[in-house]
């Protein structure tokens, strides 16, 4: 049995968001326990030119939802990038996961060689769907999950590798 683009992406995104959601719960509890304003975690960055925690989660969300949109030619679910609280981030994750759970695997089936065009500020990037999923979307998703984890770990949130990887 071969793996489809759906198989290697959508379940991985859902699992990543489940783990991220638990990490965010630990971060909020840590802030409350230590008397740290939530904004100190939500607006934290690893370095000045990187996105803050909220931005990392927004980009992970966008990356995940754009895979079935671009590969499966599904309609995009617009999200405003206006999250400023832990509750907002949980709602963003929940909305993203709810969308991912509606994706029918067949919508991405047979689309391995379909062209995917990613428009950026510096121009267009063209991929086959396989190259887009494996060479761009999955690495980008994990980059933003890792950055979110690293921001919170750097701020002292007691999380570890098993929180990032999950327990199941």
**pLDDT tens, position by position, 132-162:** 999 999 999 999 999 999 999 999 999 999 9
Judged against a pLDDT cut of 80, whether residue 166 lies above it is answered with yes
pLDDT tier for residue 2 given thresholds of 50, 70 and 90: confident
Residue 149 vs residue 1, higher pLDDT: 149
Report which of 33, 4, 28 is spatially closest to residue 90, judged by C-alpha positions. Answer: 28
Tokens of 21: 């959601």
* 114, burial (CB in 10 Å: exposed 0-12, middle 13-18, buried 19+): middle
Judged against a pLDDT cut of 70, whether residue 1 lies above it is answered with no
Q: What is the pLDDT of residue 167?
A: 82
Q: Mean pLDDT over residues 37-58, rounded?
A: 98
Q: What is the pLDDT of residue 29?
A: 98
% of the chain surpassing 90 pLDDT: 96
Domains and CATH numbers, the chain: 5-165 (1.20.120.450)
pLDDT digits (tens, 9 = 90+) for 116-128: 999 989 999 999 9
């Amino acid at each position: 049995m071969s793996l489809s683009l759906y198989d290697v992406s959508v379940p991985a995104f859902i699992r990543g968001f489940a783990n991220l959601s638990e990490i965010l719960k630990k971060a909020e509890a840590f802030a409350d326990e230590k008397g740290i304003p939530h904004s100190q975690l939500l607006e934290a960055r690893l370095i000045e030119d990187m996105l803050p925690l909220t931005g990392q989660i927004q980009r992970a969300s966008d990356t995940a939802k754009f895979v079935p949109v671009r590969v499966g030619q599904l309609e995009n679910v617009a999200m405003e990038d206006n999250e400023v609280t832990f509750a907002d981030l949980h709602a963003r994750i929940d909305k993203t996961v709810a969308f991912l759970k509606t994706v029918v695997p067949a919508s991405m089936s047979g689309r391995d060689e379909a062209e995917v065009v990613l428009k950026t500020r510096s121009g267009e990037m063209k991929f086959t769907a396989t190259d887009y999923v494996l060479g761009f979307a999955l690495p980008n998703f994990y980059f933003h999950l890792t950055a979110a984890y690293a921001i919170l770990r750097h701020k002292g949130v007691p999380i570890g590798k098993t929180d990032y990887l999950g327990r199941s």
